């Protein structure tokens, strides 16, 4: 397993995913019932954008760094607050990942479980989660395999975040299998899947797989930074959201539009549709 999210932290795709995640958490925690969040691919939780790897990849420079000084739409306010609070309001050196963004929103009675396969990343995740003071723990291992046992907590509403590296050809298949298990046991669960956008055929194939598995309807939000005519490049990203709370479609549309407009190239496009 070679994937290291540290190379990509704070890039345009993180901005789409994390702005959406903060708004989704705000909406899910507006209801009184306690919430369990399962993050199948948690990552380290906090990334140091000044370390040597980051300086080499420079993805944050074309992402979070370009947002400073821009007039951000309200859908980015929570993400901005989360980033600012880890940087003393100054230049962005540290960038929070999904575990911290979820923990920021957790209330007493809510719980976060973040699965992580890599031992080194898991150790960093553990330290980050301990510092939150929330009911949050890491689980070392395969998030897809761990998921079924984590569905047994019937006391809490469930939100599942699936954000794999897509290094393995079977990620698309395993996502659909995992979602099938989730909705068989918890039909009312909310779920959000992050997807890379290189070409449309791969996204179509995933949606066809969702349909044949009988998954519930999903809202798909696409942020295409440029035309999808070079499948060797990451041309954008998409989020598929199941059982989205009321009003969340509006957030998704605004987030994708803003990222395309601020960071995209000619031919870029934001799209929202129901699969
Ligand atoms: C895209 S990153 C996650 C980023 C994180 N969700 C965030 O938004 O900050 C994917 C992570 O999944 C881990 N990983 C890869 N395969 C996994 C698996 N089968 N189960 C759990 N973690 C896995 C990688 O080590 C990596 O840290």
pLDDT of residue 66: 84
The CATH classification of domain 5-194, taken from the options 3.40.50.12160, 1.10.645.10, 3.40.50.10420, 3.40.50.150: 3.40.50.150
Q: Quick check: CB of 196 below 6 Å from ligand 1?
A: no
Give the DSSP letter string of 84-109.
HHTTTTSS--EEE-HHHHHHHH--TT
The string of pLDDT tens digits covering residues 144-169 is 999 999 998 888 999 999 999 999 88
pLDDT of residue 90: 82
H or E segment and range at residue 224: strand 218-224
Q: Which atom of ligand 1 is nearest to the CA of 174?
A: 19
pLDDT of residue 56: 58
Looking at the predicted structure, is the pLDDT value of residue 37 above 90?
yes
Give the span between the Cα atoms of 164 and 37, in whole angstroms: 16
The string of pLDDT tens digits covering residues 7-30 is 888 899 999 999 999 999 999 999
Task: Say if residues 220 and 275 touch (Cβ distance below 8 Å).
Answer: yes
* Test site for ligand 1: of 11, 13, 43, most ligand atoms within 8 A of the Cβ: 43
Q: What is the mean pLDDT of residues 77-103?
A: 94
Q: Quick check: CB of 3 below 6 Å from ligand 1?
A: yes
Q: Quick check: CB of 165 below 6 Å from ligand 1?
A: yes
Q: Quick check: CB of 157 below 6 Å from ligand 1?
A: no
The string of pLDDT tens digits covering residues 241-270 is 999 999 999 999 999 999 999 999 999 999
Q: Quick check: CB of 98 below 6 Å from ligand 1?
A: yes
Task: Say if residues 240 and 195 touch (Cβ distance below 8 Å).
Answer: yes
Q: Quick check: CB of 163 below 6 Å from ligand 1?
A: yes
* Test site for ligand 1: of 40, 42, 144, 150, most ligand atoms within 8 A of the Cβ: 42
The string of pLDDT tens digits covering residues 189-238 is 999 999 999 988 999 999 999 999 999 999 999 999 999 888 888 899 99
The string of pLDDT tens digits covering residues 115-139 is 999 999 999 999 999 999 999 999 9
Q: Separation of 7 CA from ligand 1 center, angstroms?
A: 13
To the nearest whole percent, how much of the chain has pLDDT over 90?
79
pLDDT of residue 91: 86
Q: Quick check: CB of 73 below 6 Å from ligand 1?
A: no
Arithmetic mean of pLDDT over the chain? 93
* Test site for ligand 1: of 2, 4, 5, most ligand atoms within 8 A of the Cβ: 5
What is the residue extent of each domain of the chain?
5-194
pLDDT of residue 1: 56
Q: Quick check: CB of 166 below 6 Å from ligand 1?
A: no
Give the span between the Cα atoms of 228 and 236, in whole angstroms: 8
Task: Say if residues 238 and 197 touch (Cβ distance below 8 Å).
Answer: yes
């Amino acid at each position: 397993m070679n994937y290291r999210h540290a190379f990509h932290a704070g890039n345009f795709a993180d901005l789409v995913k994390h702005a959406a995640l903060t708004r989704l958490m705000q909406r899910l925690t507006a209801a009184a019932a306690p919430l369990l969040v399962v993050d199948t691919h948690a990552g380290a939780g906090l990334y140091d954008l000044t370390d040597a790897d980051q300086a080499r990849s420079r993805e944050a420079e074309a992402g979070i760094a370009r947002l400073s000084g821009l007039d951000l739409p309200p859908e980015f306010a929570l993400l901005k607050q989360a980033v600012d609070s880890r940087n003393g309001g100054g230049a962005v050196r540290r960038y929070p990942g999904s575990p911290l963004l979820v923990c920021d929103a957790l209330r007493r009675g809510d719980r976060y479980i973040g699965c992580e396969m890599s031992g080194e990343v898991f150790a960093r995740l553990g330290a980050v989660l301990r510092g939150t003071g929330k009911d949050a723990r890491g689980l070392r291992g395969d998030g897809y395999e761990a998921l079924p046992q984590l569905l047994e907590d019937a006391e809490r509403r469930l939100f599942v975040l699936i954000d794999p590296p897509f290094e393995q050809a079977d990620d698309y298949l395993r996502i659909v299998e995992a979602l099938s298990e989730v909705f068989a046991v918890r039909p009312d669960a909310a779920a959000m899947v992050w997807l890379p956008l290189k070409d449309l055929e791969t996204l179509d194939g995933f949606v066809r797989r969702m349909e044949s598995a009988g998954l519930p309807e999903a809202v798909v939000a696409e942020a295409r930074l440029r035309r999808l005519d070079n499948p060797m490049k990451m041309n954008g990203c998409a989020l598929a959201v199941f059982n989205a709370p009321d009003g969340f479609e509006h957030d998704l549309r605004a987030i994708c539009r803003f990222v395309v407009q601020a960071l995209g190239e000619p031919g870029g496009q934001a799209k929202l549709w129901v699969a």
